[in-house]
């Protein structure tokens, strides 16, 4: 009798496996579609962020925080409040990386490609046609920042992305990511959490522009 019960249990689990896999696929599609709809519907975006970088070769984790600004299609910025003064600005033509506490006399300037995977826009990277650009799997339901989220793992299908995988927690209420974890090609791990999200916020123009400080050298890789 015990053997028969075990056989029936195994048979039931095998029968339910395709159904569970199908539901997970629907969850992935639904979560990513929700994220893309939220992104497509906004004109501007502002959010506070915290960031943790972990590189086993460089010691303990590095923590930072600041404010993120976004004005699609080509303007994106991160102003750090800790460490104060650091900035990343994509002004539509150039991306500027400025870290005065580390390298006070130089700013890195990189051309922004017209299209493709190398966009500096942190959100567009993951919500623009995600099922074409990534192999996506559903990880779990969770909470982040007081929001119910669906956690999705994305592995690049294309070779020119600077990371091996991304895990994104997408809010069920509004479709915006609340957490984003990256494993970069170097093995470094980067985790971002987003707070106080403001779609269609009024953005100060200066946040999406970069003026080179006097005496600062421009370095173009």
Mean pLDDT of the 139-157 span: 94
d(CA 116, CA 111): 13
Whether 151 shows a pLDDT value over 90: the answer reads: yes
pLDDT band at 20 (very low <50, low <70, confident <90, very high): very low
Q: How many domains does the chain have?
A: 1
Would the pLDDT of 163 be above 60? Answer: yes
Helices (H), the chain: 2-41, 124-127, 130-133
- Could you list the residue range(s) of the whole structural domain that residue 118 is in? 2-219
Q: What pLDDT score was predicted for residue 1?
A: 52
> Per-residue b/e over 150-176, b at no fewer than 16 CB within 10 Å?
bbbbbebeeeebebeebbbbbbeeebb
Residue 153 has pLDDT above 80, yes or no: yes
- pLDDT tens digits, residue range 41-73? 999 999 999 999 998 777 778 999 999 999 988
CATH of residue 16's domain is 2.50.20.10
8 Å CB contact between 27 and 20: no
Among 118, 220, 211, 216, CA closest to 161: 118
Q: Is the pLDDT of residue 116 over 70?
A: no
Examine the pLDDT at 97 and tell me if it is beyond 60.
Answer: yes
pLDDT of 192: 96
Q: What is the 3-state secondary structure (H, E, C) of 117-157?
A: CCCCCCCHHHHCCHHHHEEEEEEEEEEECCEEEEEEEEEEC
Q: For 28, which DSSP code?
A: H
The pLDDT of residue 167 is above 70: yes
pLDDT above 50: residue 13: no
Q: What is the pLDDT of residue 45?
A: 96
Q: Does 4 score more than 60 pLDDT? A: no
User: Which is more confident, 198 or 113?
Assistant: 198
Confidence of residue 186 (pLDDT cuts 50, 70, 90): confident
Among 104, 63, 106, 110, CA closest to 85: 104
């Amino acid at each position: 009798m015990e053997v028969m019960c075990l056989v029936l249990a195994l048979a039931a689990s095998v029968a339910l496996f395709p159904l569970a896999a199908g539901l997970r696929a629907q969850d992935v599609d639904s979560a990513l579609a929700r994220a893309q709809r939220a992104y497509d519907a906004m004109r501007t975006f502002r959010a506070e962020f915290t960031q943790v970088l972990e590189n086993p070769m460089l010691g303990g984790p590095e923590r930072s925080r600041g404010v993120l600004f976004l004005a699609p299609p080509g303007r994106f910025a991160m102003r750090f409040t800790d460490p104060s003064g650091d900035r990343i600005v994509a002004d539509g033509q150039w991306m500027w990386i400025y870290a005065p506490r580390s390298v006070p006399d130089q700013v890195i300037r990189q051309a922004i490609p017209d299209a493709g995977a190398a966009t500096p826009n942190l959100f567009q990277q993951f919500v623009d046609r995600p099922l074409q650009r990534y192999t996506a799997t559903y990880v779990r339901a969770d909470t982040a920042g007081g929001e119910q989220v669906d956690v999705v793992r994305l592995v690049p299908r294309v070779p020119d992305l600077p990371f091996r995988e991304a895990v994104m927690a997408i809010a069920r209420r509004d479709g915006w990511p609340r957490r984003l974890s990256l494993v970069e090609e170097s093995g470094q791990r980067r985790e971002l959490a987003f707070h106080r999200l403001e779609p269609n916020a009024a953005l100060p123009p200066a946040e999406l522009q970069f003026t080179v400080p006097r005496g600062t050298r421009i370095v173009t890789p």
